[in-house]
Amino acid sequence: MDFSFNVTQVFLLLVYGISALPDSVRSTSLPSVTPIGVVHRNCLQNEQTQTDPQEKAQESASCNCFSSYPLVEEDMSEKELNPDHYPAQRAATVAQHYINTLHGSPFKWFAVGVVQSATVEEIAERGAKYRVAFTVVEVVGNQPAGTCSAEVLFPHGASQAPPEVQLTCGEMLKIDTTAKEQAFYLKLRNNSSLLSAQDIPDSYGNVAPEMEPLWHLGRVASSFVMLKESNENTLYSMAQVASVTQQVSEGEQLLFSYHVLLHDRVSEEILRWKIFVSWCPAEGVRVLQMAAQTP
């Protein structure tokens, strides 16, 4: 008798047995075929019940041919993302926050220019790992700062842990603002009164030129908060410095107390944070304390 099966029917026959085939095919007299899944299960049961070492070894060897054919295989492959869509932009923005915690200052603030490529991969028992490549712009001087590639891992788990970022960048370290930073630092140290300001930018979106370094310092400080708070359901940016007050300091570091407004572009929430910041040109920006504020 001529047995003709399509690919799907052959697969069903081999894996699940004759019961998986349509009635019209099962009614035909078929040769006896034991499904792979049944053979594999019986094989393992026989191996476990063998007591004689030689027979157990022979049974184990006969089972090896099935070990490379799991019945269910989870797809853990890396997936391409549209660089313009939210998941890719979110991962690049987290990398942007990380860049500013490392290299930002009152005269250097970095932003993502164009996301060039992005992928995501689920890492078992760890989280979702995004790989992104993007251009970078130094906003204060309005100049390109090369390209970066980053791996951003959003950990899974009940308790939210900050994203883990690994970063490779090229040209941003060549941007030198040492002279401007030193001049601003000396000006603040030599002032007879401590500096303070509110609403940067104002309700019209304007930032007074003399307030720009404090505005950028606030953005850098906010990057520490946004990096810590980011997850796969957020997309943070800084909206405003509600207030900033220079604090009395005895060492080389200048101290500032910031109240900032952060915008989550996913939920459209405005979040208030208090940040205690230290800065000097030699050691950069440090966040000493941060705390969410109730409205």
Show the 3-state SS of 209-255. HHHHHHHHHHHHHHHHHHHHHCCCCCCEEEEEEEEEEEECCCCCCEE
Q: Are residues 173 and 230 in the same domain?
A: yes
Model confidence over 2-33: pLDDT tens digits?
445 454 454 444 444 545 445 554 545 444 44
For residue 175, give its domain range: 79-293
The number of domains in the chain is: 2
Other CB atoms closer than 10 Å to residue 278's CB: what's the count?
19
pLDDT at 37: 42
Q: Are residues 207 and 230 in the same domain?
A: yes
- Going from the C-alpha of 31 to that of each of 34, 36, 224, 249, the distances in angstroms are 10, 15, 68, 89
Describe the strand order of the beta sheet including 143-155 as a list of residue ranges.
79-80, 110-123, 127-138, 143-155, 164-169
Q: At 91, is the secondary structure helix, strand, or coil?
A: helix
Q: Are residues 49 and 148 in the same domain?
A: no
| More confident call, 265 vs 171 | 265
pLDDT above 70 for 40: no
In angstroms, rounded to a whole number, what is the distance separating the alpha carbons of residues 117 and 135?
10
pLDDT at 62: 45
Percentage, residues of the chain above pLDDT 90? 68
- Going from the C-alpha of 27 to that of each of 8, 10, 18, 187, the distances in angstroms are 18, 16, 10, 94
Q: Are residues 97 and 237 in the same domain?
A: yes
Q: Are residues 218 and 279 in the same domain?
A: yes
Whether 197 and 241 have beta carbons less than 8 Å apart is answered as yes
Q: Are residues 46 and 178 in the same domain?
A: no
**pLDDT class of 55 with cuts at 50, 70, 90:** low
Q: Are residues 201 and 129 in the same domain?
A: yes
Whether 237 and 112 have beta carbons less than 8 Å apart is answered as no
Q: Are residues 86 and 19 in the same domain?
A: no
Whether 262 and 273 have beta carbons less than 8 Å apart is answered as yes
Model confidence over 72-127: pLDDT tens digits?
334 458 999 999 999 999 999 999 999 999 999 999 999 999 999 999 999 998 99
Q: Are residues 152 and 250 in the same domain?
A: yes
pLDDT above 60 for 177: yes
The pLDDT of 252-267, averaged and rounded, is 97
Residue with tokens 């060039």: 116
Q: Examine residue 73 and state whether it is found in any structural domain, yes or no.
A: no
Q: Are residues 87 and 60 in the same domain?
A: no
Q: Examine residue 189 and state whether it is found in any structural domain, yes or no.
A: yes
C-alpha torsion sign, points 86, 91, 92, 97: positive
Q: Examine residue 185 and state whether it is found in any structural domain, yes or no.
A: yes
In angstroms, rounded to a whole number, what is the distance separating the alpha carbons of residues 98 and 131?
14
* Backbone angles phi and psi of 26, in degrees to 5: -65, -25
Whether 149 and 109 have beta carbons less than 8 Å apart is answered as no
Q: Which amino acid is at 27?
A: S
Q: Examine residue 140 and state whether it is found in any structural domain, yes or no.
A: yes
Residue ending a domain, among 66, 87, 110, is: 66
pLDDT at 94: 98
Q: pTM of the predicted model, to two decimals?
A: 0.74
The pLDDT of 204-211, averaged and rounded, is 95
pLDDT at 43: 45
Q: Examine residue 100 and state whether it is found in any structural domain, yes or no.
A: yes
With both helix axes pointing from N to C terminus, report the angle between 7-16 and 36-49 in degrees, rounded to the nearest 10.
Answer: 20
Whether 154 and 163 have beta carbons less than 8 Å apart is answered as yes
